[in-house]
Structure 1
Amino acid sequence: MIERKKNIIIQGQHDKPILIDTFYNKNSTSKPIVIFCHGYKGFKDWGAWDLVAEAFANAGYFFIKFNFSHNGGTVNKPIDFPDLEAFGQNNYIKELDDLETVIDWITSIDSQFKNETNTANISLIGHSRGGGITIIKASEDSRISKLITWASVSDFKKRFPEKHKIEQWEKDGVMFIENGRTKQQMPHYFQFYTSFLENEKRLTISTSVSKINIPYLIIHGNHDPTVTIEEGKKIHKLTPESELFIVEGADHVFGAKHPWDMNRLSSDLEKVTQKTIDFIGF
């Protein structure tokens, strides 16, 4: 039977807590660790992510998913975006620090899960923007054994707007993007751009991906309208020893949506999940 622990609170490095979910079979057996990172305007409880977590737990893994500290959720309301101020203050460096904090937490000798986890076997999964974060982290952190990205971006810089819009952004101090699902106006303070410029060398995905020397699986749908298949192919070209798995007809979220009311995965997400489980192996 799967042991679920939802909304574990740990302290992040940037004055906000990180909420963590763990899914595993409690049997005092050392299990490979899988850490999942959500994407832009994402959260750990989005759509079918719980069903994905259950699939990994049933396959014998210790699965972790978490909310980035500044993703816009709160301790009391971890779903959606009640804290738009935090969302506006988020940046890539904070997300890298959050991921490091989660890895430190699960590998700590004081971890409450030390009898259930194999800290020498840690895989990262990143979806969309989270894919870029996991690529950078895997290139930096020797604790990571395998890397899997789902519909990952290939270049953070290219996702910023054109020059005249950046100039207006600087003048206004904030830029708003509408959330198509919630209809919220999501703020992005100009610090997001300046933080990138200050850390551009570290945040250049192509540089990081060329340093990856662990097994790496790239999964992308060829009907992805948000992050096109060309980005997946670009990453694969930069890491020729990686494996590229194209899901024919799949969109950016592999057929899932939020809320997800079914008790099974979409067919595309099931393919993605099984392929990832097989790739990680033991």
Structure 2
Amino acid sequence: MMSSSGASKQRFEISNKYGEKLVGVLHSTGSKNLVILCHGFHASKDDIQFINIISALTREGISALHFDFSGNGESEGELKFGDFRKEADDLLAMVLYFSEKNFKICAICGLSKGGNVVLFYASMHNDAPLIINVSGCFTLKRGLEGRLGKDFIQRIKKDGFIDVMDKAGKVDYRVNEASLMDYLATDMRAVCLAIDKKCRICTVHGSADTDVPLEDAYEFDKSISNHKLHIVEGADHCYLAHLEQLGSSVVDLIKSAQVLDAPAAPLT
């Protein structure tokens, strides 16, 4: 199947180390330069932000891959509130699978929680020359009361879980005690300091992001030695009015990092 950009589009399934099925889509331009995209919390590979980034990449002759983390979208498993390490394991399964097919993983890009995951991955595996953190959260404890309600620690210790409701009053997702404690124990500064200094890290952040304030991007900039910060003026957390700028920003960062082998000819 051909995508709108002219790249071939192929759905695939692989297993993670836990035996769960992971579902992804490869957009191949004929180039072995591959960018892997990682979605945010309670989201999927089909988020509109990714569609725009993929279009920008494939227009430049760069192949792209997006997939569902375990417990999300079409992939098997249980949705977890934190579990950055397990999602980093899911990402590793993708890296290994496509490396064996002789793709060059030239960059890994994560959006929102996916931004945290790709930084976790970089702290665990030094096998990608460029990591792009789009709107990841540095101060993880911020905003939890607004999401989980007041006295959430006492309530989850009493009941073992908290159900988060949607606008219709139905259960949107469940947060269990183990996943919340893992989330609260996560220190993003320590994660950043563990990243190999040879790995280039870029942070993209919207100046009008109210979900994850811009100050978090500056904290990443202070905590990562080999780091470049790119601010998209006026963009909120979802970039809905700045999708083209997001796509072009990601492409420009990849091209300026000089991580590409000779790419395929740009698609017109």
TM-score, normalised to structure 2's length? Answer: 0.82
Between the two proteins, the alignment pairs up a number of residues equal to 246
Specify whether residues 139 and 89 from structure 1 end up closer, same or farther in structure 2 by C-alpha distance, changes over 3 A only.
closer
**Corresponding position of 2:156:** 169
Q: Distance in 2 between matches of 1:181 and 1:20?
A: 30
Q: CA deviation at 1:122?
A: 2.8
SS in 2 for 1:170: helix
2:189 to 198, 206, 213: 206
- Does 170-179 or 213-222 show the bigger shift? 170-179
CA 45–244 in structure 1, closer or farther in 2 if over 3 Å, else same: same
1:20: how far off? 0.8
Deviation at 1:15, TM superposition (A): 3.8
Match of 2:266 in 1: none
Matched, 1:185 2:169: no
- 2:253 alignment counterpart: 279
Q: 1:95 aligns with which of 87, 91, 110?
A: 87
Q: Write the deviation string for residues 13-54 of structure 1: whole angstroms up to 9, x where unpaired.
A: 23421111111213xx4x322111111121101224223212
1:125 aligns with 2:109: yes
Residue number in structure 2 paired with 1:262: none
8 Å CA contact 1:16, 1:70 repeated in 2: no
> Do 1:39 and 1:128's aligned partners in 2 also have CA atoms closer than 8 Å?
yes
Q: Counterpart amino acid of 2:99?
A: T
SS in 2 for 1:104: helix
Secondary structure of the structure 1 residue equivalent to 2:79? helix
1:5 corresponds to which of 10, 30, 42: 10
Counterpart AA for 1:227: V
Contact 1:13 1:97 in 2 (8 A): yes
Alpha-carbon displacement from aligned partner over 1:143-166 (angstroms, at most 9, x marks no partner): 110011111111335565599421
CA contact (8 A) 1:11 1:18 kept: yes
Measured against aligned partners, the alpha-carbon deviations of 1:232-270 in whole angstroms (never above 9, x if no partner) come to 111111125411111111100111xxxxxxxxxx5x221
Secondary structure in structure 1 of the residue aligned to 2:110? strand
Q: Distance in 1 between matches of 2:169 and 2:249?
A: 32
Q: Please tell me the residue identity of whatever aligns with 1:97.
A: D
Task: Give the counterpart of 1:137 among 121, 132, 135.
Answer: 121
Q: What secondary structure sits across from 2:88 in the alignment?
A: helix
**Structure 1: which 5+ runs fail to align?**
76-82, 256-265
Q: Does the aligned pair in 1 maintain the 2:82–2:180 contact within 8 Å? A: no
Note closer, same or farther for the CA distance 1:59–1:184 as it changes in structure 2 (3 Å cut).
farther
Q: Which letter does structure 1 place at the counterpart of 2:159?
A: D
Q: Does 1:14 align with 2:14?
A: no
Q: One-letter code of the match for 1:21?
A: V
Structure 1 residue 182 displacement after superposition: 9.9
Which residue of the partner structure matches residue 78 of structure 1? Answer: none
Query: Is 1:36 the counterpart of 2:37 in the alignment?
Result: yes
Deviations 1:144-196 (A, max 9, x none): 10011111111335565599421211221211223459964311122212444
Query: Which residue of structure 1 lines up, in the alignment, with residue 131 of structure 2?
Result: 147
1:270 corresponding residue in structure 2:
244
Specify the alignment match of 1:216 in structure 2. Answer: 201
Structure 2 runs not aligned, ≥5 long: 1-5, 261-268
CA–CA separation in structure 1 for the residues paired with 2:49 and 2:152: 35
Aligned to 1:226: 211
Q: Which residue of 1 aligns with 2:263?
A: none
Q: Report the 3-state secondary structure (helix = DSSP H, G, I; strand = E; otherwise coil) of the residue aligned with 1:86.
A: coil
Deviations 1:174-219 (A, max 9, x none): 112234599643111222124447xx4xx42211212432222111
Q: In the alignment, which residue of structure 1 is the partner of 2:3? A: none
Range with bigger deviation, 127-136 or 167-176: 167-176
